[in-house]
Chain A
Amino acid sequence: MSPARPLLREPTDWSAAALRVRLARRHRSERLFRLAGLGALLLAGLFLAFLLFTIIRDGASGFRHSEVAVTVTFDPQSVRSGDYVGLMQRSARALPVAGDVVSEGAWVALREAVAADPALVGQTRTMWVPARSSIDLLAKGKFDLAQPALSRGVSDADVAAWRALAAAGRLRQGFNLDFLTGSASTSPELAGIWGAALGSLLTLAITIAIAFPVGVFAAIYLQEFAPRNRWTDLIEVSINNLAAVPSIIFGLLGLAVFLNFAGLPRSAPLVGGLTLALMTLPVIVIAARAAIGAVSPGVRDAALAVGASRLQTVFDHVLPQALPGILTGTIIGMARALGETAPLLLIGMRAFVADVPHGLAAPATVLPVQIFLWSDDAQRGFIEKTSAAIIVLLLVLVLLNSLAIVLRNHFERRA
């Protein structure tokens, strides 16, 4: 007979060689996992830092511009006939340099100066007007002057004009307010971002005005009131599917329904907002349903027990608790809508509009599309404008997100 097996396990001998090996292996795999996680985080951080670094390096100069001092005599005849273009040309020719140095739109500054102060007529003044793009880029040191003229992208004449202007003290750099207040232009030195930013805000206003109430009400109905049957299952599956549909499909839908069928105007923030609302709606419905579903059933039972109607239960007790979650979903949807380009290209929001939009039906463009358009421009001056516009887009995003976070915290405290 074999000896009886001991009933109790012997205490683990942690110092045994085999166990030490196993323990070391387990510790090693944990260390490796932590290291891999840290590495992934570092890599992501590095990419972000690289992205921000290149954008800010290229874009920071887009917020500054160079100005040329031009001595202008506002002779009454030119002012009366409105020939500010000729007046600017004559004044610029009197500068101690050869060739064009002022921007094509510089004469507008003269018209505005006279409009602001009619007493200027007949006087001689020194006006600081925007410099032409190549002079501006030279002043910012964007060219490698050691290269021969043909291969550096700027002519000898421009380099000579820039040196002469700088030597005469007629060149200065300043903050480019026009960039923040102006609208699109074909001259990089005159291009501004406000037209596109306003277009984005109008579009987002329409999107949120439609997607938020419709999405939240749909979620409330589906979650709290709708019976569970084959039809609601079908609707749920459809909503989940819609959330995953590529945005370009919504652009095609918008083109077919809002432009071709309803006859709404092309390139308008109204149509852009409606299209983006279709795209954002499923995201908000899903997030809102999840948030409403997460509210404790005890809240509902308590409300019903003291005699509240189902409507009162939902609106006075469930929804306030679900609101922070709903808002989070809405933020994600809005951030996506703000950065969306593809569907807007199809409904004509890629148009060049040299004016700030003055209504929901007026032609406009949006920030990401403006960035896309500038990146496509042949002129070198638009490289820095593209990066500067990206900085503005990122700032708007950060602003919207922080606003949403403040709102969410506010509701969280109240609930």
Chain B
Amino acid sequence: MRQLLPVSGLLLVLLAGCSDAGRSQIRIVGSSTVYPFTTAVAEQFKRQSPQYAAPVVESTGTGGGIKLLCAGLGPQFPDIADASRRIKPGEVADCRRHGVTDLVEVQIGLDGLVIAQARGGVFAGLTARQVYMALAADPFGRGPNRARTWADVDPALPAVRIHVIGPPPTSGTRDSFDELYMQRGCETEPAMPALKLRDPAGFRRICAKVREDGAFVEGGENDNLIVQKIAADPHSIGVFGYSFLAENADRIRDVPLDGVLATYDNIASFRYPASRAMYLYVKAQHARAVPALRPFLAAYARESTWGREGLLARRGLVASPDTVRAANAQVATRFTLLDPATL
């Protein structure tokens, strides 16, 4: 039993040796929707540039990722945040408070936020207004939502229980859902745009608050789980990014939104109403301490990576229009800083 003493002594030496927290690899956090794309680029980057340490990518959700990015400067804070929506002015202010003043914004591509069902699902199509009326806590400010089946929302819809599985509030996908489905559906009511100008807080309460009585289920950050759940239940609807639809086309299909199918071309041309752009936010102040940062961004902005036929297109990313790609490639190579006034 005397051998225990040297073990614990060794341990102290070991702990003392490990307090050095400096690092050379890039640290990336953020959106679960962008995660599969950034990991693919990180892996290719590690293979092609073995002189740099492999980037570390973590999926935390857009909101959580930007919060970590903005927490300060130094090796314990990440260098890049993946985002499935644009950064908010409030988040930029939070960054500034912690000394993170220089951010670079790169749009990496597009994604469609799709509503999908099992291949044998019962929905022929939905409008944003119908989705809003089925899921709002207080539709149009007329009191609590009492709709139990889709037929209660609109008699033309199937009489099945409302059951939608979607992303949790920490996710950028949820922010997009609130904006592209809930608010857009809400604004179809003539009184609502006026309310938005008059009383923004009241507008958000009426138009973006999702009911909490079990009709909308939070599926967590695991989109594959949502796919599995809706594939097993023809009456459920799931909300997630286009890449998951494309990858599982044998089990699920999309519910046409406002009569438009979620296809690659419809999303790329923004004809699909729930198309959205995805971004990287790069902490330019770390560029000197982390030498891999510039080459990594250059690798991301290459045509063979994010172009129409590139690595990411094969993984389900919808390429941005040519002019947008060219402009963002410039931003990525020159490290042009984000102007908060444009948000």
Contacts and interface: CB of A to CB of B under 8 A. Distances in A.
Interface in B83-137: 119
Contacts of A380: 247
Given A153-B249, A315-B2, A379-B247, A186 B7 contact: no
B54 A266 contact: no
A363 B56 CA distance: 7
A187 B43 CA distance: 9
A124 B113 CA distance: 48
Given A108-B47, A186-B36, A352 B224 contact: no
Contacts of B189: none
A267 to B, nearest CB: 6
Contacts of B54: 353-355
B38 to A, nearest CB: 8
Interface string B196-227: 00000000000000000000000001111101
Given A185-B43, A378-B223, A267 B58 contact: yes
Interface in B11-48: 11, 14, 18-21, 23, 25, 27, 35-36, 39-40, 42-44, 46-48
A150 interface: yes
A263 B119 CA distance: 50
Interface string A238-273: 000000000000000000000100111111001000
A376 B21 CA distance: 30
A213 B8 contact: yes
B311 A104 contact: yes
A209 to B, nearest CB: 5
B343 interface: no
A377 interface: yes
A264 to B, nearest CB: 6
B36 A355 contact: no
A152 interface: yes
Interface string A316-359: 00011000000000000000000000000000101111110000
B250 A267 contact: no
B330 interface: no
A397 B145 CA distance: 51
A133 B53 CA distance: 26
A216 interface: yes
Contact of A320 (B1, B27, B48): B1
Contacts of A108: 47
A351 B57 contact: yes
Contacts of A267: 56, 58
A163 B128 CA distance: 44
B58 A209 contact: no
A214 B244 CA distance: 48
Given A315-B2, A350-B58, A355-B54, A264 B19 contact: yes
B4 A217 contact: yes
Contacts of B53: 355
Contacts of B251: 153
A218 interface: no
B316 interface: yes
Most-contacted residue by chain B among A212, A265, A378 (CB, 10 A): A378
A151 interface: yes
A105 interface: yes
A157 to B, nearest CB: 13
Contact of A213 (B4, B48, B57): B4
Contact of A363 (B25, B59, B222): B25
Contact of B224 (A105, A351, A375): A375
A319 B1 contact: yes
B23 A265 contact: yes
Contacts of A379: 247
A185 B40 CA distance: 8
B79 to A, nearest CB: 12
B247 to A, nearest CB: 4
Nearest to A318: B1
A361 interface: yes
B14 A360 contact: yes
A155 to B, nearest CB: 10
Contacts of A153: 248-251
A210 interface: yes
B56 A376 contact: no
Nearest to B5: A213
Contacts of A150: 249-250
Given A147-B250, A378-B224, A360 B18 contact: yes
Contacts of A320: 1
Q: What are the nearest 4 A-B pairs in CB distance?
A: A153-B250, A355-B54, A351-B58, A352-B57
